[in-house]
Structure 1
Amino acid sequence: MGKTSLPHLARRVITSSSSHFRCFSTTPSSNNKLFVAGLSWSVDEKSLKEAFSSFGDVSEVRIMYDKDSGRSRGFGFVNFSKEDEAASAKDAMDGKAFLGRPLKVCFALDKVHREPVTTRHTNSRISFGRNH
């Protein structure tokens, strides 16, 4: 198995806990999509689009909802038509209070498709790894 450099793997990472989100991101080469965290449960797509529309043409807004409760998970995505509009919105809205809560805004990461993690039992030891 070939080695992949750590900087390559960890170029852009988003971590979260129940109380906050932190974004670590290099500026992507072409990205019109923003990740927006810290959303109040009362925020809907319409109000989020209105909040970001002053920076340019918002092509799509998606708030992520819990599939069991139907309640907002506190984050979503805002897509702009142009990259420079997304960058302006990111710079202006990151840390800004929206409906009483500070937003955390960064460029969205590309979705990574990985194989599922499996559990292997060997001689009373359990090891975790990826299917190859």
Structure 2
Amino acid sequence: MERFGERLKKIRFEKSLTQIELSKLSGITNVQIARYENNTAKPSMIVLKKLNKALDIDIEKLGIDMFKPELNVDELDDSINRMKELPHKDLLVIKEVIDRFIESRETRSFVIKQNSKTTRY
């Protein structure tokens, strides 16, 4: 499967843009663009949107799968352990984000189930 950096470079070439030109269009440094193309860095969703706008393409074409990585339990454990070192107020924010995410998923799941029950013939 083609990695994000390879897709970015391919699309940039298709648009006949240099890294410097893409940098000017997107507001992202050419050094950072090189990091993305070399797969040594992953862009945030904000950066991904800037690149999509600068390249005039749909977000799906450039990076839809990059936010669906394989779950590595060791990395998740590492993240949780690093979180434990954060100040209490930061932990409260993280907890709120997690709780809202779970509530949102539960709500979507419920709505989908209800819709599937009402659309049966």
Instruction: Report the TM-score when normalising by structure 2.
Output: 0.23
Structure number, greater radius of gyration: 2
More strand by share: 1
Higher relative contact order (CA 8 A, sep 6+): 1
Answer 1 or 2: which has greater helix percent.
2
TM-score when normalising by structure 1: 0.22
